[in-house]
Chain A
Amino acid sequence: MINLAGRDILHAWGRFVFTGIGLGLLIGVTLSMAGIYRGMVDDGKALLGNSGADLWVVQKDTLGPYAESSSLKDDVYRSVLGMPGVARAANVAYLSMQVRHGEADVRVMLVGFEAGQPGEPGYLVAGRHITRNHYEAVADVKTGFRVGERVRVRRHDYTVVGLTRRMVSSGGDPMLFVPLKDAQEVQFLKDNDAILNERARTAANPQLNRPGVPGLLESIQASQASSHSVNAVLVQVQSGADPEEVAAGIRRWKHLQAFTRVQMEDIVVAKLIATSARQIALFLVILAVVSAAIVAFIIYTMTLGKIREIAVLKLIGTRNRTIAGMILQQALGLGLIGFVVGKTVATLWAPVFPKYVLLEPGDALRGFVIVMLICALASTLAIRAALRVDPATAIGG
């Protein structure tokens, strides 16, 4: 027996292929959407994984430092260090901002860290780690900076001395690492006018500017102009210690919030991107419905165009099963072309996306199965129409 579906496809291949390409672009968009979601999850996991922390200690009653803002005094880490089970603890400061790169603005997450402590950039793809206490930076390659370039952050120029990769915020912004002190200054320091203003205001306050107490005014002004806040303390626990126990201790005795890796993942992956995930899920459902409608419509019209032939085929003794199989195979063929096109374009255009698009083979496989199911389902409409064709119509009136 010859394959009727295959012959029909070969006969009308132009129409078939173009339809398949159209469907493929739609499938490509679908796969990309799934990839964007996976990328968001992966960004979140990379953020947590690359920080090298077991615990995040943040301001009480906040979900900081990534999902909510959190502010701690920068001496808190010392008391955390004293807790049982804590091996290392270090301050970090995070700040989302725009920096200029050539003509364009780059959105980055400025990270202030202490050299050699949790929170420092992982491995470098170029250059070296920060060795000076000020005005050196390590940038994620996605920022577009190169080693040796200078980047202006607020009032100071920083020299990019090293490059790292896959260091992004949970929002997918590439990171720019600078020494903690610099980051604190950037984050909490006021501009010159504001400082002058503040000084004048303090000096004008008779309670603070007391003739009888020399040095009081200066020390108050100094404290106003410097910052001792950070956003979080990253903690590594001693090997063998249970992170949850250590976190419980910190919560109980230090009146701070402490999150374990698992809890942090829940915050960053589940809570922070929950809305985006639902958005994407809904979008995927809509795309699936649209694809199904398109396949159903196309297979249906293709079948209606063959009613005469189907009547003749039935008259000369073709089984219903053969005819249904022919339509089903065509729908699956369309799905196959669509999937191959979709997977190809999704792979081709993934790097062009500004945010990380992670195309997982598992998603592709699931996508393939779903496409095939949708096509099979969509063909039922056409199959029903074909089975209803009366062979008597071939003989005519």
Chain B
Amino acid sequence: MQEFGIRIEGLRKRYGEGDTAVDALKDVNMTVAPGEVVGLIGPSGSGKSTLLKCLGAVIEPTAGRMTLGDELIFDNAWKTRDLRALRRDRIGFVFQAPYLIPFLDVTDNVALLPMLAGKPNALARQRAAELLAALDVSHRAAARPSQLSGGEQQRVAIARALANQPPVILADEPTAPLDSERALGVMRILNDMARQYRTAIIVVTHDEKIIPTFKRIYHIRDGCTFEEAGEGRTL
């Protein structure tokens, strides 16, 4: 079995060069076990988004190592050429806004990922139906994203993030627009899904409402991470 969901060692990221260079990440170390949900908290400009982008394989770190699931993806350089496939197969994304594709119905929004990975349409839709059922939005499966409530949209977005059964989900302020009850609902879902699918989840947040739900929290300040035990309140 894989030992780590996510393991980051000595990650550094410098934007630009020379006088204008910004060291957004100086020394980031994190581990997230499969099935675990950890919080990532830090003041504005501390490097949260930069870290997510590095982990999300959309920008290249300057140095360090990153392991997703059982695969070392970065060791001072990308270990794979096909970052697109890496993102598709190994990483699920959940954003502050759901960013669903408006011209696809709910099922196809979720099924799109397995389809992109080459699964037949029927199989992909079956997978989508299972996830939508697990997230309690089956009844809206044929609707357009614009016809859904904010909470429903966010659940569909989570279903999409899970669609290819990635070892890792990166969530960027997933509860920001939601009220306290809904925010806790989303956190419960993320915890359930993490357990159910053995997914390692990082949740970037400012949201005071959900901070007590984490068992472990990473603080990031000036590009450096510090681990802290959380309250781990049950949901």
Contacts and interface: CB of A to CB of B under 8 A. Distances in A.
Interface of A: 1-2, 4, 7-8, 10-12, 308-309, 312-319, 322, 390-392, 394-397
B103 A394 contact: no
A395 B160 CA distance: 15
Contacts of B112: 2, 316
Contacts, number: 76
B180 to A, nearest CB: 23
B116 interface: yes
A4 to B, nearest CB: 8
Given A1-B121, A396-B96, A10 B103 contact: yes
Contacts of A396: 49, 95-96, 172
Interface stretch (B1-9, B64-72, B83-91, B210-218): B83-91
Interface of B: 49, 52-53, 56, 58-59, 84-85, 87-89, 93, 95-96, 99, 101-104, 108, 111-113, 115-117, 121, 144, 160, 172
Given A395-B58, A396-B95, A309 B101 contact: yes
A388 to B, nearest CB: 14
A395 B84 contact: no
Contacts of B113: 316-317
Contacts of A391: 58, 87
Contacts of A10: 103
A308 to B, nearest CB: 6
A316 B53 contact: no
A237 to B, nearest CB: 70
A7 B104 contact: yes
22 contacts: A2-B108, A7-B104, A7-B108, A11-B103, A308-B99, A312-B101, A313-B101, A315-B93, A316-B93, A316-B112, A317-B84, A317-B89, A317-B116, A322-B116, A392-B53, A392-B58, A392-B59, A394-B58, A394-B99, A395-B49, A395-B53, A395-B95
A316 B89 CA distance: 9
Determine which residue in B56, B59, B103 has the highest number of CB atoms from chain A within 10 A of its CB, and name it: B103
Given A395-B49, A395-B52, A396-B96, A2 B104 contact: yes
A396 B87 CA distance: 16
A394 B115 CA distance: 20
A7 B111 CA distance: 14
B106 to A, nearest CB: 13
A313 B93 CA distance: 11
3 pairs of A and B residues whose beta carbons are closest in the complex: A317-B88, A11-B103, A392-B58
